Chains A and B, each alone.
Chain A
Amino acid sequence: MIFFWSVLISGLSLFAGSGLALGAALGLTGLLLLHFVAGGITFVAVDAVWNVLNSFTLSAIPLFIILGEIMLRSEISKKIYLALSPLFQNISGGLLHTNIAVCTLFGAVSGSSLSTAAAVGSVAYPEMTERGYDRQMVVGSLAGGGTLGLLIPPSLSLLIYGALTETSIGRLFLAGILPGIILASMFMIYIYLRCRQNPLLAPRIESQLKITLIIKNILAIWPFLIVVIAIMGSISFGIATPTEAAGVGVIATIILGKFWGSLTLKKLVEAIYFGTLLYASIMFVVIGATILAQAVSLLGIPQIILETVRAADLGPLAVLFAVILVYLVLGCFFDGLSLMIMTLPILVPLMVGLGYDPIWLGVIITIMIEIGQVTPPVGLNLSVLVSVTKEKVTLGEVAMATMPYWLILLVGIMLLTAIPQIALFLPSKLM
């Protein structure tokens, strides 16, 4: 065991710390473990990589990434943003609420929090800074709201969780809906209270807005809602698998972008091209983590940890607390997906063995990953927003502005632990 942990920790620290591509760092550490600790069975690595890449379920990853890119380039996100802007105009916080609402809606078609933060951020940031909103408050709401893209289905993390743990992806997707909406509401309550306390953070427009105009604006985004229903409805009602739903979603988004947005052939080609490159960079992490996970699994580490925890006679809540702590620490250094792939082979048998529901666990892990996405220095959402602001707001400032949302996500975990039915209600009723 000591040899295993030495190779694992020193390998990861050296390779990942040097700035090597994370996928190669994880994969190289996995190969070292297979070679030196597992008796030279490195040949299993190629098969493991081949099997992961040939998984039909995981084929949804590039499709959801491409879908997000098409949405971004066809300016659909801009249209939705402008349609929802008047809705919160007279409420304390104004467009900051719109950020959360649009992130929630955008999350319902995009599987990644990065695409959500980038798509909404690129529209909202220039508009809001021009209107005199506090820059830090704006980026905080965008970083926090962006995390919802990972929880509200379709979600890349729930997809990978389902594929790796052989848990129903349809049920996982349904389980993410209510917690996502509750977290969005909590974000909005925070914005309301904060802006009521300090009105300078969000200048209010004192104009009487006609309710008919608000309704008209909301109704105007019906084509977008059709895509949301097409994706989620087909998965929930068993009409299509998540991969098929993603494929159909891409086609629906292309049609939507053409007739409702500003999609041209050039923009479509660009979206698929850059989406494919983004997929390659994400998938490199997945294959590296797969090799490492294979080594960890073959060495029987999950069983050893499970037995150690059982022998320590810790209660399920104490173990959950320890797991959250580990995720918070590791979330500072690793990106969410690689963290999940590395830890799932150990975590899922451990937690399910302690009596936790695997669907509920998928939602909890996704929220932990969301927290990692907004935890410096690796927090990818933070980096995206720094570039959205053209570096007018530093990474540290974005991180500080995101801190309240970080805490709200933790409160969300406590809420889900106290009332697991928040996540389990919809899957039990609909599937």
Chain B
Amino acid sequence: MGAQTRHSTLCLLSRRTEVFVTPMFYFMAVLATIASVMIIILIGGSVTMRYLTYTPFRFTEELVGLLMTSAFFLALPLVTLHSKHVRVLILISSLPDKIKPWVAGLASLFGVVFCAWFILLCIPWLEFAYDRQIKTEVGRLIMYPWMSILPLSMLLTIIAFIIRCVSDSLKVAE
């Protein structure tokens, strides 16, 4: 009974978290879309400037790289929440229905481990960039605000993996 209560509380907590974070994830995905639009405009503008006025933007390559990184990490939590990743489902689809949610839950836990490990690696890397105020070579853009998207996105992706894990365990209970 105790275990059942704990499980219900966990599910409730997970659902409330999902309600809270989903709009945030959508907002981030919209920001990622804006980053994609900016990439298109920047490249189009740069090519035009190069051929029309012979003055291409010096910072195009750097800024496009930073925008592409941002677009990826901003969209990642929503992609994870909706399980839209490329996955190998050969083994899991051949398992009995009762075991499937447990294995899916285990997969989500592995996802949490990967993201947490990545965050731990990001922190000293980000500290180094912040302490030295590292800038891009050509455009002299300060890099740490862009770099900070990595651990932030991974943290939110952990939340997405946990929500998936709990919803999978809910299927077991059902």
Of residues 53 through 80 on chain B, the ones whose CB sits less than 8 Å from some CB of chain A are: 61-62, 64-66, 68-69, 71-72, 75-76, 78-80
Query: Is the Cβ of B114 less than 8 Å from the Cβ of A27?
Result: yes
- Looking at the assembled complex, report how far the CB atom of B165 sits from the nearest CB atom of chain A, in whole angstroms: 11
Of residues 110 through 155 on chain B, the ones whose CB sits less than 8 Å from some CB of chain A are: 110-111, 113-115, 117-118, 121-122, 124-125, 147, 150
Residues of A within 8 A of B43 (CB): 59, 63, 243-244, 246-248
Residues of B within 8 A of A279 (CB): 36, 71-72, 75
A300–B36 Cα gap in the complex (Å)? 37
A22/B88 contact (C-beta < 8 A), A15-B110, A42-B121, A53-B65 known: yes
- Looking at the assembled complex, report how far the CB atom of B158 sits from the nearest CB atom of chain A, in whole angstroms: 11
Contact of B117 among A25, A28, A332 (CB under 8 A): A28
- Looking at the assembled complex, report how far the CB atom of A150 sits from the nearest CB atom of chain B, in whole angstroms: 15
Segment from A210-218, A267-275, A422-430 that makes contact with B: A267-275
Query: Is the Cβ of B85 less than 8 Å from the Cβ of A21?
Result: yes
Contact with B along A264-292 (1 / 0, CB 8 A): 00000100110111011111110100000
Query: Is A333 at the interface (CB under 8 A from chain B)?
Result: yes
Residue of A with least CB distance to B65: A54
Residue of A16, A47, A275, A332 with most partner-chain B CB within 10 A = A16
Residue of B with least CB distance to A247: B43
A49–B66 Cα gap in the complex (Å)? 12
Residue of B with least CB distance to A13: B91
Query: Is the Cβ of A59 less than 8 Å from the Cβ of B68?
Result: yes
Query: Is B172 at the interface (CB under 8 A from chain A)?
Result: no
Residue of B with least CB distance to A338: B86
Query: Is the Cβ of B29 less than 8 Å from the Cβ of A273?
Result: yes
A281/B85 contact (C-beta < 8 A), A244-B46, A247-B40, A269-B33 known: yes
Residue of B46, B68, B108 with most partner-chain A CB within 10 A = B68
Residue of A with least CB distance to B71: A276
Query: Is the Cβ of A46 less than 8 Å from the Cβ of B122?
Result: yes
- Looking at the assembled complex, report how far the CB atom of B132 sits from the nearest CB atom of chain A, in whole angstroms: 15
A11–B71 Cα gap in the complex (Å)? 29
Query: Is the Cβ of B65 less than 8 Å from the Cβ of A18?
Result: no
Query: Is A58 at the interface (CB under 8 A from chain B)?
Result: yes
Residues of A within 8 A of B115 (CB): 24
Residues of A within 8 A of B147 (CB): 50
A377–B79 Cα gap in the complex (Å)? 22
- Looking at the assembled complex, report how far the CB atom of B15 sits from the nearest CB atom of chain A, in whole angstroms: 22
Residues of B within 8 A of A31 (CB): 114, 117-118
Contact with B along A53-79 (1 / 0, CB 8 A): 111101100110010000000000000
Query: Is B92 at the interface (CB under 8 A from chain A)?
Result: yes
Query: Is the Cβ of B39 less than 8 Å from the Cβ of A62?
Result: yes
A23–B108 Cα gap in the complex (Å)? 13
- Looking at the assembled complex, report how far the CB atom of A427 sits from the nearest CB atom of chain B, in whole angstroms: 23
Query: Is B84 at the interface (CB under 8 A from chain A)?
Result: yes
Query: Is the Cβ of A43 less than 8 Å from the Cβ of B121?
Result: yes
Query: Is the Cβ of A18 less than 8 Å from the Cβ of B91?
Result: yes
A280–B113 Cα gap in the complex (Å)? 20
Residues of B within 8 A of A21 (CB): 80, 85-87, 111
Interface CB pairs A-B, < 8 A, 8: A15-B110, A19-B91, A46-B118, A276-B71, A277-B78, A279-B72, A280-B75, A377-B93
Residue ranges of B at the interface with A (Cβ–Cβ < 8 Å): 29-30, 32-33, 35-37, 39-40, 42-44, 46-47, 61-62, 64-66, 68-69, 71-72, 75-76, 78-80, 84-93, 103-104, 106-108, 110-111, 113-115, 117-118, 121-122, 124-125, 147, 150
Q: A243-B43, A378-B88 are in contact. List 20 more A-B contacts (CB 8 A).
A: A15-B107, A18-B91, A18-B107, A19-B88, A19-B92, A25-B88, A50-B150, A54-B66, A55-B65, A56-B61, A58-B68, A59-B68, A63-B40, A247-B42, A276-B71, A277-B29, A284-B85, A285-B85, A334-B88, A378-B89
Residue ranges of A at the interface with B (Cβ–Cβ < 8 Å): 14-25, 27-28, 31, 42-43, 45-47, 49-50, 53-56, 58-59, 62-63, 66, 240, 243-244, 246-248, 250-251, 269, 272-273, 275-277, 279-285, 287, 332-335, 338, 377-378, 380
- Give the top 6 A-B pairs by smallest Cβ distance, nearest first: A247-B43, A21-B85, A54-B65, A280-B75, A20-B107, A18-B107
